[in-house]
Structure 1
Amino acid sequence: MAVHIRDATPDDIPAIDAIYAVEVRDLVNTYEYEVPDEAEMLRRMQAITGSGFPYIVAEVEGQLAGYAYAGSYRTRIAYQWTVENSVYVDARFQGKGVGSALMQALIDACTARGYRQMVAVIGEPSNTASIRLHERFGFHLVGVFKGLGRKHGRWLDTVQMQRALGEGADSAPTNE
């Protein structure tokens, strides 16, 4: 099964919205309660890409199988070289290399843009697939926030993971 990675376009929004809707309604990989409509998902995509961050999709045999993007980790200026990642894979394509292809492409895109650290905020320690994916790409556990969110009638712990990009913190960025 060949996975094709490309930049996301507005035409991808219906499929992206469908993948994300499952995450919001049924799972705890996002802490949103209400499914955003397609107009909101497009606005979010445009805000991310308009700020110079990557937003990519994976296709398998012409079907959108997943998407990923990076955005600002925090808004304070000192965090400008750190990004937070998000990777979502359609349930029909999980375990087939789509998440790995998206993660590698996202890491490459962020490194090429000069970012030095990537942070993953993973909803719940029981999300072992996401944790293992991040570990395979060099992320290490930073910590677990206990009871940080509440969804579906229960308190949720949140896993924080991190990896260096490029030279990481071993040198000053060229655009400082």
Structure 2
Amino acid sequence: MSDSAAASLDLTVRQAEDDDIPAIQAIYAHHVLHGVASFELEPPDQAEMQRRHAGTLASGLPFLVAEDRPGSGAILGFAYAASYRARPAYRWTLEDSVYVLPGAGGKGIGSALLSELITLCAGLGYRQMVAVIGDSANESSIRLHARHGFSDAGVLKAVGFKHGRWLDSVFMQLALGPGDETPPD
């Protein structure tokens, strides 16, 4: 994100609320139907997105939205953290997800969301954040994560099949707080 793009933003990143679910669902549905960032094939309905939102909050993790012009209610994107894996040894590691309104990419929205997500998760004591990026051709997501300090952690070749082609999963990783320098509290 360029400094001029960041300076021109008039948005608020805040915790998602129940009233945001229709906009979140619409953004995600577009990415499921037309993109490869998600390996889902059918977009979840609003009830399922509400369940996912509630589950994230019940886990004590952030689920954020970027709202255009504070108070306008226009949602430009969303981001959330989830447990990386269910087994107990993974409990200090999270996976991030960031989705931006179609046509609003490249304006710093994803960067604003990811920056706040990283800050909140580090503040909660988590030690690692993993990005599992749908497809090695998803350059915008790879660049977004690299700008925020994520490093390459590997590529799983051709592990998904969507829109008539095989897709890779790109793994990137960011240490949060002290990372692996000390044991967790």
Instruction: Note if contact 2:159-2:169 (Cα within 8 Å) is conserved in structure 1.
Output: yes
State the secondary structure of the residue aligned to 2:103: helix
Contact 2:30–2:102 (8 Å) recurs in 1: no
**Structure 2 residue aligned with 1:104:** 115
Normalization by structure 2: what TM-score?
0.92
For the pair 1:11 / 2:22, whether they are aligned, the reply is: no
Other-structure match for 1:33: 41
- Picking from 108, 111, 117, the partner of 2:128 is 117
TM-score normalised over the length of structure 1: 0.97
Quote the Cα distance in structure 1 between the aligned partners of 2:11 and 2:150.
23
Alpha-carbon distance in structure 2 between the residues aligned to 1:146 and 1:52: 33
- 2:161 paired residue number: 150
Name the aligned partner's letter for residue 111 of structure 2. S
**TM superposition shift of 1:92:** 2.9
Say whether the 8 Å CA contact 2:96–2:130 is kept in structure 1: yes
In the alignment, which residue of structure 2 is the partner of 1:56? 64
Runs of 4+ in 1 over 6 A off after TM superposition: none
Paired position in structure 1 for 2:180? 169
When the two structures are aligned, how many residues end up with a matched partner?
Answer: 174
Identity %: 54
- Give yes or no for the alignment of 1:90 onto 2:98: no
Structure 2: runs of 5 or more not aligned: 1-8
Displacement of 1:150 = 0.8
Q: In 1, Cα distance between the equivalents of 2:68 and 2:18?
A: 18
Question: How many angstroms apart in 2 are the aligned matches of 1:3 and 1:126?
Answer: 28
Q: Secondary structure at the match of 1:102?
A: helix
State yes or no: 1:131 paired with 2:142: yes
> How much does 1:155 deviate?
1.0
Give the unaligned 5+ runs of structure 1. Answer: none
Does residue 44 of the first structure (1) align with residue 52 of the second (2)?
yes
Letter in 1 for 2:117: L
Distance 1:111 1:40 in 2: 28
Question: Residue 38 of structure 2 aligns to which amino acid in structure 1?
Answer: T
> Aligned-pair distance for 1:80?
0.3
Shift of 1:94: 1.0
| Superposed CA offset, 1:17-52 (max 9, x none) | 000011111111000011111000000111111111
- Indicate yes or no: 2:149 matched with 1:141: no
Amino acid at match of 2:118: I
